[in-house]
Every structure is written in structure tokens, then in C-alpha cells.
Homo-oligomer: A and B are copies of this chain.
């Protein structure tokens, strides 16, 4: 790939042993053997019924910056021979990549990415590929469950403070991909065009409480004056009932929204809705936040909640902060290879995959089959090939899906699941996967 000089190299986001393996493989000539590496997850996180592929767009961009300049070579020269250093200096990925579209659902064993090229050029990308896909897919997979639990109500991602500062924008992007509507993170707005959103914080109310006691009204008045009556006021700093009354007193019944960030959100939402309606603020929206996860969101389905704000559980993958994908060598010079250690057996050989669906669109099975073999008989079911070209001659294919298009793909994917696939409870993958050998 062509290296763009305007942003930092990604070449050191790599494990040392990848480069020492390249050194040994350059020395014995095996570095140039044609290889296929595949990315897959042996299993979904405990009890999950599907995963969402995410990060592909970020990965392809990061690969354009994977090059070794003087700064990078200074780090690796102490433990590499000069032949390897020279090879790294000239390194450009020149191979091919096929993969599941970003936003596609996946299941255990789905060959999400297939990377072909020389051993050396494929192996040096291992850590970068897995880091991006494991992180983003973990977040998108958790986010999709939250989105389906919210049943169409808008959701704002606001978890940046509970994530690494440079991972947070990627989390916002993955959440948006999975169906969230907006993010609080400004870098995600800049880098990825995710719509921004925000309400207010307890600190702003407390700022207006000086020596003469609480002046919640003063804080609300100031916020409405600065941000307009469409703003969302945070009403739970002291007493919620009084906070709501003050909010409508100050802003009038045209107030955009109130946010509740603590307490029993279901009970409070009902009380606040009743109070707002009684005050004539029938269009004022109720935003709830505070340690929401997919289960809490689902539990609020019957309550008069208008918007969910989700933080910690989103950016931590709701119990599964990494997707557990691996990057395995499956073919060398056209011959399938696989390790045979206990419990970690892999399936050798380059693979393709297709997904079978009823005529209604509901998916029924995923079939993984040898790339070199014939396309399996689908018994008359509708079927769709899952791997599409992503990179050719080291360059990303033109016209790959935009983030918005990938977001649509997730939405269509969720609709295509059998009913039990959308259950939040622990269970088996939503559809079985057949491995044809």
C-alpha cells in the first residue's frame, strides 16, 4: 500500500515476534512463500448469539500508514539483522484481502478476513489487524444488542471517560455503525462524521450553588439562555420532583428535554412523565442514563423513556471487551496447513462463506467451504457470498461501503436474524455454521 506521510506510522503497533519471524524467514527463504492468513473467532463471547464485524474501514486506512521510517527503524534495529531492516524500510503490502463487509453479522468460525501475500508481508500485519477488528467488533456487537433492546428509541453513546482516550472515538464509531444515533465524543465527530450530542452535567448545577445555598434555577436559566429552550436540563442533582418543576418554571413547557442520571429509572421516568404532562410539557423528552446496559435498556421498554444515554457498558463491550478473533496461517503455496494442539485446532485451507436465507429473508445457516472447491449445493435456499474483495495489489478497492452504508447493513442483518437470535439471554449462535471440507 502507498504510505501516507501526513499522519503517524502504524508500523510499531506490532508485536516484536512478528519481526523476528520475518528475520528468520528472510534468512531461510521461506519469507516469500505465498500464504493465506484468515481472521476468525473460535466462539462468540459467552452466550452471545451473533457478532457484528466492525473496524474494517479503520483497518484499511491504518494499513496505508503501515511503513517503517527512521523513527520506526530505530526501535527495531537493535534486535534485527540488516537484511530484515532493509526489507522493512522498503515494506509495502502488495497482496490481496477479501473480507466480510463491515457491518456484516458473524458467527463462530466465520472467515471474516482472508489475507493473501508473501508470508512476511502478511505476518507483519497480524497485530494491527487483530487490534482493530477485535476492539471495534466487540463494541459493535455489544452496541447492536443495546440497539435492538431499545426498540427504535434514540441512543447516545457517552462512554469516552471510561475508555482509553484514543480508543474512545473508535468506540463511538462502532456504536454508530451498530445503530446508535449520536456520540458525545468530539474526535468521533471529526474523524468519522458521527453526529454529536450532549446534555449537561451535575457540575454545572453545582457551580451555581454558592454560599447562600442551592440555586438550581439559576443554573437552568443560564443553560436555557445560552443554549436555547430546546436544551436538555439535568434534573437529578438534588430532588428530581423539585428539579422538574424548576426546569419547566424556568424554560416553560417548550423545554426540549430533561435528563435523569440516577435512581430507579423506570419509576422515575413514569413520575417525571406524569409531572411534565401535568405541567403542559407534553413534548419535553425524557433522557435516561446511568450504568445502562442492554438488560437495563430492555427493562425500560414499557416506560416513557425517549432517549437512552449509554456509557460504561458500551465502551467495555458489556462484559466482552474483546471479540477474541485470531489470525491464523491456513495455506502455504496452495497447501492447507493447521496446527493440531489440544483445544485449539484450526481448519486448514483458504475458505469462502455463504449465508442461506428463507424467501422471507430470515437467515437459516452459514456455510464455510474451501475456496478452491465447488460452491456447495444450497438446496434451493437463497444464498449470498459473504467475502468480498477489499484490497487488490495492496490497494483498497474503490467504492467500499461508507460508514452509513455499513450501518444500514447492520440494521438489515438484525432484521434477518431468526427471532431467538435477538434474545438477550445466553444461548447458542442464532444460526448454525456448517464447515464443508
Contact = CB atoms under 8 A, between A and B. Distances in A.
Interface of A: 10, 12-21, 23-25, 27-28, 30, 33, 35, 37, 62, 71-72, 74-76, 79, 81, 119, 123, 126-128, 130-132, 134-135, 158, 160-170, 184-187, 189-190, 196-211, 218, 222-223, 225-227, 236-240, 261-263, 312, 315-317, 321-322, 324, 327-329, 332-333, 335, 337-344
Given A23-B227, A79-B196, A127-B185, 16 more contacts: A13-B186, A16-B185, A16-B186, A17-B184, A17-B200, A21-B201, A23-B226, A28-B218, A30-B207, A30-B222, A62-B165, A75-B186, A75-B189, A131-B160, A203-B329, A207-B332
Given A165-B132, A168-B131, A186 B322 contact: no
A92 to B, nearest CB: 19
Given A24-B226, A322-B312, A165 B135 contact: yes
Number of copies: 2
Contacts of A202: 328-329, 339, 341
Considering the complex of A and B, which 3 residue pairs feature the smallest CB-CB distances, nearest first? A17-B198, A16-B198, A164-B167
B186 A15 contact: yes
B28 A184 contact: no
A185 B157 CA distance: 30
Contact of A335 (B16, B211, B337): B211
A16 B197 contact: yes
Contacts of A338: 206
Given A15-B198, A164-B131, A199-B17, A337 B222 contact: no
A14 B189 CA distance: 11
A25 B207 contact: yes
Contacts of A337: 206-207, 209
A186 to B, nearest CB: 4
Contacts of A131: 160-165, 168
A178 B23 CA distance: 32
A123 B201 CA distance: 10
Most buried by B among A20, A21, A167, A184: A21
Given A198-B17, A312-B322, A329 B24 contact: no
Contact of A187 (B12, B35, B190, B312): B12
A166 B166 contact: yes
A134 B14 CA distance: 24
B119 A207 contact: yes
